[in-house]
Structure 1
Amino acid sequence: MTKQLTLALLAAGVLSACSLAPKYERPQAPVASAYPTQAGERNGDATAIGWREFFPDQRLQSLIATALENNRDLRIAALRIAEARALYNIQSADLWPSLNATASGTRARTPASLSSTGSAIVGSSYQVGLSLASFELDFFGRVRNLDNAALAQYLATEEAARSARISLVAEVAKAYLTEQSLAEQLDLARKTMESRDTGYKLAKQRFDVGASSALDLRQNEILVQSARASLATLTRQRAQATNALTLLVGKPLGDLPQEKTLAEQTIVTDIPAGLPSDLLARRPDIRAAEQRLKAANANIGAARAAFFPRISLTAGIGTASRELSGLFDSGSQTWSFAPQLVLPLFDAGRNRANLSLAEVRNNVAVADYEKSIQIAFREVADALAARATLDELIDAQRLVAEAQSARLKLADQRYQNGVASSLDVLDAQRELFSAQQTLIQARQLKLTNAIDLYRALGGGLKETSEGPAAAQ
Structure 2
Amino acid sequence: MIRLRPTIALPLACVACAPTPQLAIAPNILSQEWQQAPPPLAGEAADSWEDFASPELATLVAQARDRNVDIAIARARIVQARGELRLARAAALPMLSASAAGLTGERSGGGTAGPLNDILSVGPEISWEADLFGGAAAGRKAARARLAAAVFDRDAIALLVEAEVARAFFDHAALGDRIALVDRSLDNARELERIILVRVREGAATQVDAGRQSVEVRRIEAQRSELVEARRHTANALAALTGEEAPRFAAPRAALGDLVLPSFAPGQPSDLLLRRPDVRAAEARIAAAEGNVSQARAAFLPRLTLSGSSMIEAAAGPVQLVTTLGANLLAPIFDGGRNKGRLLVAEGAQHEAVETYRGTLLTALRDAEDALAASEEAERRRQLLAATLEEARRTASLARRQFVEGAADLQTVLDAERSLLDVEQEHALAVRDRLAAIVTLVTAMGGWPV
Per-residue deviation, 1:37: 1.6
Are residues 1:383 and 2:366 paired?
no
Residue in structure 1 matched with residue 84 of structure 2 by the alignment: 87
Q: Give the counterpart of 2:101 among 101, 105, 122.
A: 105
Distance 1:39 1:181, change over 3 A: closer
Preserved contact between residue 318 and residue 335 of structure 1 (Cα < 8 Å): yes
**Aligned to 2:389, which of 401, 406, 420?**
401
- Equivalent position of 2:296 in the other structure: 303
CA-CA distance at 1:123 after TM superposition: 4.2
Q: Indicate whether 1:412 and 2:400 are aligned.
A: yes
- What amino acid does structure 1 have at the position aligned with 2:260? T
| Distance apart, 1:449 and its partner CA | 0.6
Letter in 1 for 2:32: S
Partner of 1:138: 131
| Structure 1 residue 345 displacement after superposition | 2.4
Aligned to 2:26: 27
Amino acid aligned to 2:77: R
Cα pair distance change 1:344/1:32, threshold 3 Å: same
**Counterpart position of 2:48:** 51
User: C-alpha deviations, 1:17-64, integer Å up to 9, x for none?
Assistant: xx999798862235522211237989xx98xx5415533322222222
What's the offset of the Cα at 1:154? 0.5
Matched with 1:275 is: 268
1:54-109 superposed Cα distances (whole Å, 9 cap, x missing partner): 3332222222222223323222222221221111101110011112233x131336
User: Which residues of structure 2 form unaligned runs of 5+?
Assistant: 1-17
Q: Which residue in 2 is equivalent to 1:174?
A: 167
Q: CA deviation at 1:182?
A: 0.7
Q: Does 1:238 align with 2:231?
A: yes
- Structure 1 residues 85 and 27: alpha-carbon distance in aligned structure 2, compared to 1, 3 A threshold: same
Say which SS state the counterpart of residue 126 (structure 1) adopts: strand
Provide the rounded CA distance (Å) in 2 between the counterparts of 1:341 and 1:36: 61
| Kept in 1: contact 2:238–2:251 (CA 8 A) | no
Q: CA deviation at 1:119?
A: 5.3
Query: Is 1:71 the counterpart of 2:68 in the alignment?
Result: yes
The superposition leaves residues 214-271 of structure 1 with CA deviations (integer Å, 9 ceiling, x where unpaired) of 3322321221111111111111111111111122222455697xx5531331141x32
The 5-angstrom pairing of residues 402-441 of structure 1 reads 402-441=390-429
Write the distance in 2 (CA, Å) between the matches of 1:23 and 1:337: 41
Q: In 2, distance between residues paired with 1:79 and 1:94?
A: 23
Counterpart in the other structure of 1:193: 186
CA distance in structure 2 between the partners assigned to 1:445 and 1:395 by the alignment: 12
> 374-383 or 204-213: which moved more?
204-213
Runs of 5+ consecutive residues of structure 1 not aligned to the other structure = 1-18, 463-472
Q: In the alignment, which of 239, 257, 261 is matched to residue 263 of structure 1? A: 257
Separation of aligned partners in 1, 2:105 and 2:322? 24
**More displaced stretch, 209-218 vs 381-390:** 209-218
Deviations 1:397-425 (A, max 9, x none): 11222222222223223333444321121
Q: Distance in 2 between matches of 1:365 and 1:36?
A: 28
Aligned alpha-carbon RMSD (Å): 3.0
Distance 1:316 1:267 in 2: 72
The alignment partner of 2:327 has SS state of strand
Structure 2 residue 145 is the aligned partner of structure 1 residue 152: yes
Instruction: Give distance in 2, aligned partners of 1:226 and 1:317.
Output: 93
**8 Å contact from structure 2 (residues 174, 256) kept in 1:** yes
The sequence identity of aligned pairs, in percent, is 28
Q: In structure 1, what is the Cα distance between the partners aligned to 2:185 and 2:300?
A: 78
Does the aligned pair in 1 maintain the 2:31–2:270 contact within 8 Å?
Answer: no
Q: State the structure with bigger RCO (CA 8 A, min sep 6), 1 or 2.
A: 1
Amino acid at match of 2:347: E
Q: Is residue 374 of structure 1 aligned with residue 370 of structure 2?
A: no
Q: Distance in 1 between matches of 2:120 and 2:298?
A: 41
Q: How high is the TM-score relative to the length of structure 1?
A: 0.82
1:313 and 2:312 matched: no
Give the residue type in structure 1 aligned to 2:121: Q
**Residue-by-residue CA offset, 1:125-173 (whole Å, 9 max, x unaligned):** 212222114x322212222111111110011111112222322332222
Map 1:452-471; keep pairs closer than 5 Å.
452-460=440-448
Give the conservation status (yes or no) of the 8 Å contact 2:182–2:224: yes
Question: Contact between 1:286 and 1:373, CA under 8 Å: does it hold in 2?
Answer: yes
Q: Decide whether the 8 Å contact of 2:39 with 2:376 is kept in 1.
A: no
Aligned counterparts of 2:210 and 2:326: Cα–Cα separation in 1: 103
Question: 121-130 or 56-65: which moved more?
Answer: 121-130
Partner SS, residue 91 of structure 2:
helix
Alignment match, 2:6: none
> Would the aligned equivalents of 2:21 and 2:347 in 1 still touch at CA under 8 Å?
no
Deviation at 1:352, TM superposition (A): 1.5
* Deviation larger for 237-246 or 58-67: 58-67
Which amino acid is 1:339 matched to? A
Distance 2:19 2:435 in 1: 51
Distance 1:206 1:321 in 2: 120
The separation in 2 between residues aligned to 1:229 and 1:40, in whole angstroms, is 39
Asked if structure 2 preserves the Cα contact closer than 8 Å seen for 1:20 and 1:140, the reply is no
Whether the 8 Å contact between 2:64 and 2:243 is mirrored in structure 1 is: yes
Contact 1:21 1:299 in 2 (8 A): no
SS at match of 1:37: coil
Partner AA of 1:261 in structure 2 = A
Q: Distance in 2 between the 1:242 and 1:143 partners? A: 51
**1:320-331 maps to which residues of 2 (within 5 A)?**
320-323=313-316, 326=318, 329=319
Distance 1:39 1:231, change over 3 A: closer
TM-score for both structures, normalised by structure 2: 0.86
Shift of the 23–262 alpha-carbon distance from structure 1 to 2, 3 Å rule, reads: farther
* Aligned mates of 2:440, 2:76 — CA distance in 1: 27
